[in-house]
């Protein structure tokens, strides 16, 4: 399939966003910049909100949670909210607190597994560090985001000669012993966390004594890139689930002024680890934001509950494309393809929140946008994953549809997706907001 100019612009913008966002906090930083440049005003949870019809706004909770919206022209208790939820976090590794150590002549970092990454994909990659640096000066705390553009880390595989059965038995990694990355070679001076702090201090231009704390993540330094003879694929880390965040925010910024319905986009943290954080899908974040928007419109609590009963939520998280080498692992009658449009996810055990009503509504949104769509059902003999959809739908009591763009190698350090699908998803979301 040939990319149209608009499709190419959309996927290139997504690829730039992915490169800017080695962590969820960096993704939110990039999104804030995009919203501010599109005349969105920042609110805080610590102050009263004053909003009028047509106002564009956003609020951040924690480092990696953000809710953005536009106040519609119709009363909220008449039309309800049009909501989209996605998540900013991705599976990977977090650096253990104060865990730099030396072993066999190497300096290594202790790491914890975050979520469910495909561990083997993280070996023999040029890795680096990014995260939050907490500074303290004159008893005042300041938070900064930092990422190294230099490859600092590597998790080398052991040579074939020491593991002759690896190609037959598969790579088996002990999570405690085989995953700590190499940071440097040992030298005559003992290597402590302070030496890493000295490097970071020099990078951000502060005295090492000002660093009060570090919260670091590991990421792949390789940039997003097109793939294939016709550039109809692209590859990157964190497509799950920053691609859906990008589509939602892009649709919101492309929305014509003064929409009829009030729109809310909620980007949650911590989906990969269960959503039970202050800015996760199980938190009060979206509920609080929605109610405060309703209050600014003069609604009381009962009016707000009426509005929720008329609302609908798109839970946006990537979906599984069929893998040509493993077709037997997929439901034979629901094998989704790249570049074939959004995937509507359905599950009898309600791992996905889609109902027949919400599915038909989203199908109509796709048709109005001229976008193809697909449906996904997991194999009956395999355990199905889940999303924020059932969590948020349960908490708010709103009709919900689970959708996402199809990708390959979900949870790999480098995932593969269709280059047309970012545009398809953006257009379907834009249609859903109108």
The overall average pLDDT reported for the chain is: 97
By C-alpha distance, which of 267, 271, 280, 253 is closest to 26? 267
272: its two tokens: 């990969």
Q: Where do the DSSP E strands lie in 192-270? A: 211-220, 225-227, 233-236, 262-268
- What does the pLDDT look like over 103-133, one tens digit per residue? 999 999 999 999 999 999 999 999 999 999 9
Calculate mean pLDDT across residues 146-154: 98
Given this model, what pLDDT does residue 318 score? 99
By C-alpha distance, which of 99, 78, 421 is closest to 246? 421
| Helices 421-433 and 5-20, axial angle in degrees (round to 10) | 90
Q: What is residue 402's three-state secondary structure?
A: strand
The fold adopted by the segment(s) 92-220 is Aminopeptidase i, Domain 2 (2.30.250)
- Where exactly are the structural domains of the chain? 5-90+237-433, 92-220
Given this model, what pLDDT does residue 2 score? 81
Residue 216 sits at the vertex; the CA angle it makes with 214 and 217, to the nearest 5 degrees, is 175
**CATH level 2 (architecture), domain 5-90+237-433:** 3-Layer(aba) Sandwich (3.40)
Given this model, what pLDDT does residue 95 score? 98
Q: Is the pTM of this model over 0.95?
A: yes
In 352-401, which residue ranges form alpha helices assigned H by DSSP?
A: 356-369, 389-396
Contact 406/230 with Cβ under 8 angstroms?
Answer: no
Distance CA 128, CA 273 (A): 22
5-90+237-433 and 92-220 have identical folds: no
User: Strand 233-236 to strand 343-345: parallel, antiparallel, or no bridges (unpaired)?
Assistant: unpaired
Q: How far is CA 41 from the centre of its chain?
A: 23
Calculate mean pLDDT across residues 140-154: 97
- Expressed in angstroms, the distance from the first to the final Cα of the chain is 28
Calculate mean pLDDT across residues 370-375: 98
């Amino acid at each position: 399939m040939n990319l149209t100019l608009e499709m190419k612009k959309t996927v290139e913008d997504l690829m730039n966003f992915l490169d800017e966002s080695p962590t969820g906090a960096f993704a939110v930083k990039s999104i804030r910049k995009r919203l501010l440049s599109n005349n969105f005003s920042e609110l805080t949870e610590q102050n009263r909100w004053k909003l009028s019809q047509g106002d564009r706004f956003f609020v951040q909770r924690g480092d990696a949670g953000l809710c953005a919206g536009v106040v519609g022209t119709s009363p909220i208790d008449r039309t309800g909210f049009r909501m989209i939820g996605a998540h900013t976090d991705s599976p990977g590794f977090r650096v253990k607190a104060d865990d730099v150590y030396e072993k066999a002549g190497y300096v290594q970092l202790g790491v914890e597994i975050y979520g469910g990454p495909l561990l083997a994909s993280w070996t023999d990659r040029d890795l680096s560090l990014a995260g939050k640096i907490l500074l303290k000066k004159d008893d005042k705390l300041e938070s900064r985001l930092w990422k190294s553009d230099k490859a600092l880390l590597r998790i080398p595989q052991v040579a074939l000669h020491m593991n002759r059965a690896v190609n037959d038995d598969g790579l088996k990694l002990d999570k405690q012993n085989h995953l700590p990355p190499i940071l440097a070679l040992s030298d005559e001076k003992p290597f402590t966390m302070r030496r890493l702090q000295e490097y970071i201090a020099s990078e951000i231009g502060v005295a090492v004594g000002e660093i009060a704390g570090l919260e670091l993540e590991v990421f792949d330094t390789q940039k997003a890139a097109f793939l294939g003879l016709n550039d109809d694929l692209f590859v990157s880390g964190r497509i799950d689930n920053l691609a859906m965040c990008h589509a939602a925010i892009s649709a919101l910024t492309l929305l014509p002024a003064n929409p009829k319905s009030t729109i809310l986009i909620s980007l949650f943290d911590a989906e990969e680890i269960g959503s039970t954080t202050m800015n996760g899908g199980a938190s009060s974040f979206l509920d609080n934001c929605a109610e405060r928007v309703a209050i600014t419109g003069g609604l009381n609590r009962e009016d707000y509950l009426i509005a929720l009963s008329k609302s609908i939520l798109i839970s946006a998280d990537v979906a599984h494309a069929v893998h040509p080498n493993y077709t037997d692992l997929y439901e034979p009658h629901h094998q989704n393809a790249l570049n074939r449009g959004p995937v509507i996810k359905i599950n009898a055990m309600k791992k996905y929140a889609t109902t027949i009503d919400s599915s038909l509504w989203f199908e109509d949104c796709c048709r109005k946008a001229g976008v193809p769509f697909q449906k996904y059902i997991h194999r009956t003999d395999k355990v199905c994953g889940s999303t924020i959809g059932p969590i948020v739908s349960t908490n708010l009591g709103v009709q919900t549809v689970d959708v996402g763009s199809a990708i390959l190698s979900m949870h790999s350090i480098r995932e593969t997706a269709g280059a047309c699908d970012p545009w398809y998803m953006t257009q379907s979301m834009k249609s859903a907001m109108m």
